[in-house]
Amino acid sequence: IFLIIWGSGRMLVTAVGVNSQSGIIFTLLGAGEGEEEKKEKKGRCKKLDVAKKQDGAVAMEMQPLKSAEGGEVEEREKKKSNVPKKEKSVLQGKLTKLAVQIGKAGLVMSAITVIILVLYFVIETFVVEGRIWLTECTPIYVQYFVKFFIIGVTVLVVAVPEGLPLAVTISLAYSVKKMMKDNNLVRHLDACETMGNATAICSDKTGTLTTNRMTVVQAYLNDQHFREIPDPSQINPITLEMIVNAISINCAYTSKIMPPDVEGGLPKQVGNKTECGLLGFLLNLKRDYVPVREQIPEEKLYKVYTFNSVRKSMSTVVQMPDGSFRLYSKGASEILLKKCSSILGANGETRSFKPRDRDEMVKKVIEPMACEGLRTICIGYRDLPCDPEPEWDNEAEIVTDLTCIAVVGIEDPVRPEVPEAIRKCQRAGITVRMVTGDNINTARAIAAKCGIIQPGDDFLCLEGKDFNRRIRNEKGEIEQERIDKIWPKLRVLARSSPTDKHTLVKGIIDSTVLEQRQVVAVTGDGTNDGPALKKADVGFAMGIAGTDVAKEASDIILTDDNFSSIVKAVMWGRNVYDSISKFLQFQLTVNVVAVIVAFTGACITQDSPLKAVQMLWVNLIMDTFASLALATEPPTEALLLRKPYGRNNPLISLTMMKNILGHGVYQLVIIFTLLFAGEKIFNIDNGRYAPLHSPPSEHYTIIFNTFVLMQLFNEINARKIHGERNVFDGIFGNPIFCSIVLGTFGVQIVIVQFGGKPFSCAPLNVEQWLWCLFVGVGELLWGQVIATVPTSHLKCLKEAGHGPGLDEMTEDELAEDEDEIDHAERELRRGQILWFRGLNRIQTQMRVVKAFRSSLYDGIEKPASRNSIHNFMAHPEFLINDFIHNIPLIDDTDIDDESEWSSLPTTPNRNNNAIESGVYHLNLPTGPDGHWTTPSRQLYPLLALETSL
């Protein structure tokens, strides 16, 4: 502001609002939608208020009628289109569908169990034994029925997977906490899980794949091309002194190199990155720019030609001690070399620089540097006399006839860990694309260094203009079919605008070319990346260099601005998915066994081998403790050796189904063997057919203890879901799992030995405990047998837990923010609207007819044939505003006696505004009771009723 005060200028506004670049970005981000809705709502309210003031009935007419005629459907469709579809995450959708299916099955099994128990008891007691229901026996019978009901509820509790939401929450919360240590700050919880299904990553270049630190890596000095930073002794002293002065003085004094914040870190670059790269070049040459700037402070600079995108150069003039002037200039090599007429040779001497020499330098120096992705900068100088003093305003004459000092190659180095991270992504089935605003040559070179593109691959590298030309039709509209032809092979999009990035991401997400829908992650740091970050399934913003807009639009923030952190996010995302699958494999095994045991035992022995409290303890093990144990498994590199699961892949694979059924068979065989032969095996009393309120038996205690120990050891088996044999691999890396297994085993010992009647347990001896433990360990051995059976041979098995289809999304899920109206209130409003609409139509029609008859046709003889209102429609004078829309007119048979109309005195409103709006006033004679005294009362009872109301 203070600089503007001292001068004058003229501003040209080329675009404002949504037409400006910032407006386009914020529109793509969704900003302003709420304001537009508020304005639209406010406008509707104003119109409605005006209508109410004019005529209450007409106001009711304006409200859309939710009738069977289609108004309700149209409104619902409109509302659906306006409300953004809030999709569930992939995992949530699959779990919801699976949980509903399991819950229904559990409810059916529970109901059947209760029915069978009740019928068995009734038939056995009152039919077979022939007993009579005695009043004094009612409490006994009620207790039996209550017992049966409790068994049914227990079966339902065990069958319904109420631990699923807990497992998901624990897994996500644990992962988010651990991801923070891996430099991933998760803003949206489900983004962690979604990242595990990512199939494509669109990454920005600067600051993400590169260090965002411009560095001089090659130089051409004294007729010699140095492919590494030369030692100062290799440079002629005259040339060295000249290049130190040229860079120190001809750079903005605000550009500087600062000491690192952390000991051992890289020095900080403050100011223009290119200039900082040149200043760093001086430091690498063991020279310092600070003394030069102190000798010639900014105030002593005689003339400065600031950088201009057209001339692509910057020049500074200083006055020498003898009064002459020296011009230092730096800029794009292909432009500045054309202005050079001489060059510093091998001995620091000036020699001529002809066009032939320039072409040779371009061919041997400039082009090789550019092919390696380097930005070439030419540094030159010119001595100017003091008498006569040059005409400084003529920049074209001043910045010419230069002497070339050096040509340097600057690059933004690729982060050393990025190529390996990209290789891991590609091995994991994730395609990485570079989307940058840099030129295509630099982008292609950096992409090759990162490993995004490789020799021999079939890929595309496009600029933004070419990309838009290919995806738009003759009308300039984007077509998905055109995008589908490009994005599968596209690897580099250069010179891209914010809209281009958003279009590419949207096109990949919406594409249906491949069988699986693409899940796209986007990385970015600038405001121009905001729309793409918002549109992506998962948006990664840079925590250090990222702008507030980018961070707000993102789902995860990379606190170290490093692409390799994205690989860790993929690992954690896939680990969440696997953790839920492990828990499901374990829980469903328990579900199947517990439900079958309870159902079969109840049907055969009229009692469940597993009592209610025991089943609830088992439910606690498999829900709370197991979800905590299996959901806290740390990720491993092996997660990156497989392809993404995809949106439609089942939650329960064939291998998992094999494990569930295999372990279920083992446990059922053991339980039923103990149930029907346990008393003979252990030489103990039979626990079957025990009377009501009988003490706990060792028989059923052994069954319960064996069942729980089998679940504990099967929990170790559940750690592997892809058919791995070594189920102990990495088990000690998860102390939570070990603590839960050992803790559960300790609590089980206490319950069995000291639980007593509350837990229906009788203490067991050492021999019985060892047998229970042996059968439990057998789960691990049986797991090896199951792993030996190839899944491909079990074609009878089916997968489960597929994601819900688009057509299965409920109305409430598509519009969660939609205000719900009670059904009774809706019907009441519907009746009111129908009532007032009927009254309003009749009243309006009468007003229009009387107005035209009394005012528009005064002095004109009315033709006899015009006894119907329809006849007026042929005349242009009959105007009805949109204010009253879709009003059906009265049929000829409604009124055929013109005396009815002539008997009604009217006071027509002759105001033109009234005629245009179609609103007229009708005065009707009324009696003492307020009712009409004309025959129209008999013809129009509805209107008469409105008057009385």
- CATH code of the region 160-179+574-793: 1.20.1110.10
204 is catalytic: yes
Identify which of 940, 937, 913 has the alpha carbon closest to the alpha carbon of residue 926: 937
* Two tokens, residue 139: 């409490």
User: Whole-angstrom Cα distance, residue 942 to residue 931?
Assistant: 12
**Stretch(es) of the chain classified as CATH 3.40.50.1000:** 184-209+416-561
**Stretch(es) of the chain classified as CATH 1.20.1110.10:** 160-179+574-793
pLDDT score of 830: 54
User: Whole-angstrom Cα distance, residue 23 to residue 32?
Assistant: 10
pLDDT score of 802: 65
**Cβ distance 64 to 121 under 8 Å?**
no
Residue 511 three-state SS = coil
State which H helix or E strand residue 465 sits in.
Answer: helix 464-471
Give CA 787 to chain center in angstroms.
37
Spatial neighbors of 430 by CB under 8 A, at least 6 apart, are 198, 199, 200, 201, 570, 644
* Two tokens, residue 164: 């699923």
User: Whole-angstrom Cα distance, residue 102 to residue 100?
Assistant: 6
- Note the maximum CA span of the chain: 135
**pTM given for the model:** 0.66
Query: Residue 275 phi/psi, 5° resolution?
Result: -65, -35
Domain 215-411, CATH number (from 3.30.420.40, 3.40.50.300, 3.40.1110.10, 3.40.50.11540): 3.40.1110.10
User: Whole-angstrom Cα distance, residue 151 to residue 118?
Assistant: 11
Among the listed residues 55, 204, 529, 537, the single catalytic one is 204
* Two tokens, residue 105: 């099955």
Judge residue 363's burial from the number of C-beta atoms within 10 Å of its C-beta, 0-12 exposed, 13-18 middle, 19 or more buried: exposed
pLDDT score of 609: 83
- Give 10-residue mean pLDDT values along the chain (949 residues): 51 77 67 46 45 41 38 43 48 76 84 86 84 83 86 80 75 86 87 86 85 88 90 90 93 89 78 90 92 91 84 90 92 90 89 90 89 88 88 89 93 88 92 87 87 87 91 88 92 88 91 85 84 89 84 88 86 88 87 84 77 82 80 86 78 87 94 90 81 81 93 91 87 89 92 88 92 94 91 74 49 38 44 61 68 51 39 36 37 38 40 38 44 41 39
pLDDT score of 831: 55
Between the alpha carbon of residue 871 and those of residues 485, 845, 908, the distances in Å are 59, 13, 21
pLDDT score of 242: 93
Count the neighbouring beta carbons within 10 Å of the beta carbon of residue 13: 6
Question: Could you tell me where the DSSP H helices lie in 815-924?
Answer: 823-851, 898-902, 912-917
Give CA 235 to chain center in angstroms.
55
Spatial neighbors of 925 by CB under 8 A, at least 6 apart, are 905, 932, 933, 934
Architecture of domain 184-209+416-561: 3-Layer(aba) Sandwich (3.40)
User: Whole-angstrom Cα distance, residue 614 to residue 696?
Assistant: 12
**Cβ distance 267 to 258 under 8 Å?**
yes
User: Whole-angstrom Cα distance, residue 432 to residue 418?
Assistant: 12
| Cβ burial 90-119 (10 Å sphere, 16+ → b, else e) | bbbbbbbbbbeebeeebeebbeebbebbee
Query: Residue 909 phi/psi, 5° resolution?
Result: -90, 110
pLDDT score of 293: 93
